Amino acid sequence: MGERIVYLIKNENEPMITSSEVNKPEPILINKAKKTFKQGANVENTIEYLVQGEFILINEFYNDGIALLKHLHTYLKRKLPGKSFKDQQDYRSEYFKLSNLILIEITDQKLCAKKSPSIGWLKKIYPENNHFYLTFPQIQGLNSAWQWYENGVSLPVLRNKLHPYYGIYFPTRFDHLVLFDNWLKRYKGPKKTVIEVGVGCGVLALQMIQHGFQKVYATDINPNAIIGLKEFMGTTKLSRKIELDLGNLFGKWEKQTELIVFNPPWLPKSHDLGSIDDAIYYDKTLFSNFFIAAKKRLLPKGKLVVIFSNLAQIANLTTEHPIKKELAAGNRFQLERCFKKSVKTASTKTKRGHNLRSLEEVELWVLTNS
């Protein structure tokens, strides 16, 4: 885990409390790299060192690191040429392993390599680390996240831009958000309270506030989600309408409500690729634990909304659909209605997932108490 950064959080009708530590790349305090790389050096030898598990330091120009990653992609495309979804996962796993052996030095919250970008996260989340190393992909992630945070991200279902905090997944495809927005427009039930499990960047909670919900009680297991949304809301009216708790599933929210909303990960976990992938991959117990807890917190005439996708089935990652499995058991919830929406065609800029995208549907399941 990273260093502890304490934020004071004031919840309505509660004393000041402290949050947990920020999830961030752990500083490497000792230079583990015995070899360096710059453009023009022997690429094959450098990649062989990476394959053998040796660290490589980028210490001259930032672009040397970018060039080495391009060479690494070329090497892996030859080694792992398969095009299936499983092949893509294997490719990603191997790239993750090898690329994170490439290091870059940071001094006084600045990258030491020449012509490096200025990344505000280095001061914001490493205020006391004056000399350390991070992997090059971690730096790329910090750089991209800083641009999104600084410039904001526009989503078609929100009036204002989001400014996602580091380490928080935010949607780059919007079909499921549009599906949820359309459902909210037709929703005629009470709007006094709702619980959202896994608030993430906050888009679903903000959608519900836009559609007239008075209070959203939201949770997340990632402290960055809580810290980021607290910072985003500040002392505005939103901070009184969206109340947050750092905790698994329902956290401290025990009181029954008329609506529960859950946008879980859509793919079964098969690789350990970092904490942000907890927003993408689910473990074997997630859904059973969720439905057990949801049963206790849903009012007799309440509704449970789960947003999902058939991606895992069409990618042949599993034949099991966790919501259908729950409904088949029949002892907790019954189906009111399932809405589906075909996803938009994949971008022509990427070669990944074209065949799958033509078959994929996002799903909005509305369940009621049995």
pLDDT in tens, 242-295: 999 999 999 999 999 999 999 999 888 765 544 445 567 878 899 999 999 999
pLDDT in tens, 102-125: 999 999 999 999 999 999 999 999
Shared domain for 70 and 186, answered yes or no, is no
Strands in the chain per DSSP E: 8-10, 16-18, 35-36, 56-58, 102-107, 110-111, 131-135, 193-197, 215-220, 242-246, 257-262, 267-268, 281-282, 298-309, 333-342, 361-369
Give the CATH number for residue 355. Answer: 3.40.50.150
Is residue 327, in this structure, part of any structural domain at all? yes
pLDDT in tens, 179-232: 999 999 999 999 999 999 999 999 999 999 999 999 999 999 999 999 999 999
Separation of alpha carbons 238 and 241, rounded Å: 5
Burial 220-235 (b: 16+ CB within 10 A, else e): bbbbbbbbbbbebbee
Q: What is the pLDDT of residue 356?
A: 65
Encoding tokens for residue 147? 């641009």
Q: What is the count of structural domains for the chain?
A: 2
Is residue 1, in this structure, part of any structural domain at all? no
The 10 Å Cβ neighbour count of residue 347 is 13
Shared domain for 229 and 363, answered yes or no, is yes
Shared domain for 136 and 245, answered yes or no, is no
**Which DSSP state fits 276?**
G
Residue 243 domain boundaries: 175-369
Shared domain for 227 and 292, answered yes or no, is yes
CA separation, residue 64 to residues 41, 51, 139, 140, 168 (Å): 10, 19, 13, 13, 28
pTM exceeds 0.85? no
Encoding tokens for residue 361? 């549907």
Is residue 227, in this structure, part of any structural domain at all? yes
